Amino acid sequence: MKYAFPILAILTALLLRFALRGALIDAPTEQTMGEVQRIFYYHVPSAWTAFLLFFINFVASIQYLVRPSERADRAAKWVAIAVSVIAGIAAVFVYLRPGSYQVKPSAVAITGFAITGIYFAIRKFFSQQGTDALALVAAEVGVVFCTVVLVTGPIWARPVWGIWWAPGDIRLTSTLVMWLIYVSYLVLRQFSSSSQTARLAAVLAVFGALDIPLVYFSIWFFRTQHPQPVIGGGGSIDPHMRSVLFINWLAFLCLAALVCWSRYRLEILQRRWHEAQALEALEHRGEP
């Protein structure tokens, strides 16, 4: 573990450099939109990374809420297991009825198994207070990536749609709402001094996560100006473009992990310092 952080930092720098070249030079130019389409290699991976971080915030918040109760903790564990079972059944259903859904069976199964895996990984490696710190850090970094999404989207849309923003577009509106929810979460964590702040923030995170599926599935179930998905069965993409897209996403994931790792260690140190300060104040108060 001593060398894990510098190794990750070097790997992240190399991936970002390779991904930048792929996005700006190596990837073929899209015939309809031209060079502006290259924003795609930053816009989409940023959105996926934000989704993942907000989901981690959601799972960590749930675990912070249920850990004090053995019954609630056990129930949440079985729910996490049920997600994988349901995802497996749903994948079989989609496979037997091709064309009934705009998604591949493998995507359904992998998503369900990933949800369960993340839940048990957090449960194993983080204490109750650790889950609270992880939830905070994931929300902070997730808001940064979501901001990138909201900035690159209009830059991409202006030359393609002729407007910066389509107010009635469900994908754009729901993404902005999601951003505002998590900014509100961070404001609550920063400025509330109540002893119940962590629990209130966890509840807000759980309800805020309900907007994530709306953002993701909106372009499949609503009429929208936003382009249809090109990954997961909803469309097609040039193989070279796909490889560059996933390289960029891998680079962004490594960057997010690096920042979260640094921020998590800082958050734990800050909490320990505050606890030490509080204990010292109590000791001085108890002296005659």
Backbone angles phi, psi at 22, to 5 degrees: -60, -40
130 Cβ neighbours under 8 A, 6+ residues apart: 268
Checking if the pLDDT of 68 tops 60, the result is yes
Task: Please state the rounded mean pLDDT for residues 102-130.
Answer: 80
What pLDDT is attached to residue 100? 47
Least confident of 14-28, 30-44, 85-99, 218-232: 218-232
Bridge partners for 173 per DSSP: none
Per-domain residue ranges for the chain? 16-25+40-56+128-279
pTM above 0.75, yes or no: yes
Percent of the chain predicted with pLDDT > 70: 81
Mean of the per-residue pLDDT values for the chain?
82
* Confidence at residue 264, expressed as pLDDT on a 0 to 100 scale: 94
Choose the most confident range, by mean pLDDT, from 25-29, 97-101, 198-202.
198-202
- Spatial contact of 233 and 240, defined as CB atoms under 8 Å apart: no
Give the model's pLDDT for residue 188.
Answer: 92
Mean predicted confidence (pLDDT) in 28-53: 85
Residue 252 has pLDDT above 90, yes or no: yes
What pLDDT is recorded for position 192?
78
147 against 3, higher pLDDT:
147
What pLDDT does residue 266 have?
A: 93
99 pLDDT more than 70: no
**Cα 159 to Cα 27, 44, 146, 152, 153, distances in angstroms:** 20, 18, 21, 12, 11
Residue 30 main-chain phi, psi, to 5 deg: -65, 135
Per-residue confidence (pLDDT) for residue 168, from 0 to 100: 65
- Tell me the per-residue pLDDT of 218-238, one tens digit each, with 9 for 90 and over: 665 656 655 555 555 555 677
Over residues 44-57, mean pLDDT: 93
Cα–Cα dist 31/192, whole Å:
51
Assess whether pLDDT exceeds 90 at residue 62: yes
Q: What is the model's pLDDT at position 13? A: 94
Can you give the pLDDT at residue 32? Answer: 75
Residue-by-residue DSSP string for the chain? -TTHHHHHHHHHHHHHHHHHHIIIIISPPBTTTBGGGGGHHHHHHHHHHHHHHHHHHHHHHHHHHHTT-HHHHHHHHHHHHHHHHHHHHHHHHHHHSTTSSSS-HHHHHHHHHHHHHHHHHHHHH--HHHHHHHHHHHHHHHHHHHHHHHHHHHHHHHHHHSSS--TT-HHHHHHHHHHHHHHHHHHHHHH---TTHHHHHHHHHHHHTTHHHHHHHHHHHS--SSPPPSSSSS----HHHHHHHHHHHHHHHHHHHHHHHHHHHHHHHHHHHHHHHHHHHHHHHH--
Measured CA to CA, the distance from residue 12 to residue 170 in angstroms comes to 34
**Using one digit for the tens of pLDDT, what is the confidence trace for 256-268?**
999 999 999 999 9
